[in-house]
Amino acid sequence: MPISRRLGSLALLATIALTLLAAQASAQTAKPKPAGRVVIDQTQVAFIGSAAVGGGTLHFRGRSYPFTINGLGFGGVGVSKLRATGEVFHLTRARDLEGIYGQVRIGWALASKGDGRLWLQNDKGVVLRLQSKRQGLMLAGGADAVRIELR
């Protein structure tokens, strides 16, 4: 793939992530009641570009729904495992969890020391407020788009 096309794709990804972050910032000012909870386990590998694979569980209305989470992005160097837990907002049915979520990330992991907070939002308005712990060796910075699909 030509460099100009790659850069165009990365610029589009960054624009999507920044637009979603702006929407997330406005969503953070209101104090809605959480509709559910999620637990996510993910492995991330980065060397300029980044890829992440993993899965998780949505706890919603007394039931558990397993899901997969995969992503692509740019920025960072290293390998880490991420465990994130948190609340889900604006979810009316489990299927609405599915979709593309954007994030801009800055962080680090060194052995078992590394943590952070993430706010992610999909095109249906579902918001994930996550507390994360990383293990591994990684210096992260950049933008990602992750896709969640129920199993």
Tens-place pLDDT, residues 26-46: 555 557 899 999 999 998 787
Q: Is the pLDDT of residue 149 over 70?
A: yes
Two tokens, residue 2: 């030509």
Q: Is the pLDDT of residue 109 over 60?
A: no
pTM exceeds 0.75 for this model:
no
The pLDDT mean for the chain works out to 78
Domain coordinates in residue numbering, the chain: 3-150
CB atoms within 10 A of CB 70: 15
**Separation between Cα atoms, residue 128 and residue 86, nearest integer Å:** 7
Pick from 121, 130, 17, 25: nearest CA to 72: 17
Q: Is the pLDDT of residue 97 over 60?
A: yes
| Residue 2: per-residue pLDDT | 56
How much of the chain, in percent, has pLDDT values that exceed 90?
A: 37
8 Å CB contact between 121 and 103: no
pLDDT tier for residue 7 given thresholds of 50, 70 and 90: very low
**56-60, 114-118, 134-138, range with the lowest pLDDT:** 114-118
| Cα→Cα distances 91→3, 30, 47, 111, 150, Å | 39, 15, 34, 35, 14
| Cα→Cα distances 76→33, 51, 56, 59, Å | 34, 10, 23, 31
| Cα→Cα distances 84→13, 19, 36, 49, 54, Å | 23, 23, 14, 22, 11
**Separation between Cα atoms, residue 46 and residue 27, nearest integer Å:** 29
Instruction: Identify each DSSP E strand in the chain by its residue range.
Output: 36-60, 63-89, 99-111, 115-121, 127-150
